């Protein structure tokens, strides 16, 4: 993976896209902050290691289930909510 600035991408777009076509991945920065990734379409991963997911989930926001339910009820209304007793996915 290579990191280049937005300005460098604009100046060398043909060379960068040739590298991408050959399998290279670029991270594009603007004012020193990474804003994009340019990679070959065929290089899309189908498997993400558990360790990587755990690292990413450590920085995910915490979810307050009760608050989320209250917000959903306020927005959608609670009259038509499926309760535990009438779960459509429950096997008979």
Whole-angstrom distance, CA of residue 54 vs CA of residue 12: 36
pTM flag (> 0.75):
no
DSSP string, 7-76: HHHHHTHHHHHHHHHTT--EEEEETTEEEEEE--GGG--S---HHHHHHHHHTSPP--HHHHHHHHHHHH
Question: Domain segments of the chain: what residues?
Answer: 2-76
In this structure, what DSSP letter does residue 91 have? -
Q: Is 6 helix (H, G, I), strand (E, B) or coil?
A: helix
> What is the pLDDT at residue 19?
93
Which tens digits make up the pLDDT trace of 25-73?
999 999 999 999 999 887 566 788 899 899 988 988 888 988 998 898 8
In the sheet that holds 33-38, the strands lie side by side as 2-5, 26-30, 33-38
User: What tokens were used for 76?
Assistant: 């959608």
Domain 2-76 class in CATH: alpha beta
Which tens digits make up the pLDDT trace of 2-22?
999 999 999 999 999 999 988
């Amino acid at each position: 993976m290579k990191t280049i600035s937005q300005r460098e991408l604009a100046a060398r777009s043909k060379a960068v896209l040739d590298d991408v076509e050959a399998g290279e991945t670029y991270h594009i920065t603007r004012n020193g902050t990474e804003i994009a990734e340019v990679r070959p379409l065929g290089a899309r991963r189908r498997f993400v290691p558990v360790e990587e997911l755990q690292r990413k989930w450590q920085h995910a926001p915490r979810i307050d289930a009760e608050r989320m339910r209250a917000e959903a009820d306020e927005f959608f209304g609670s009259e038509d909510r499926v309760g535990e007793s009438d779960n459509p996915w429950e096997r008979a």
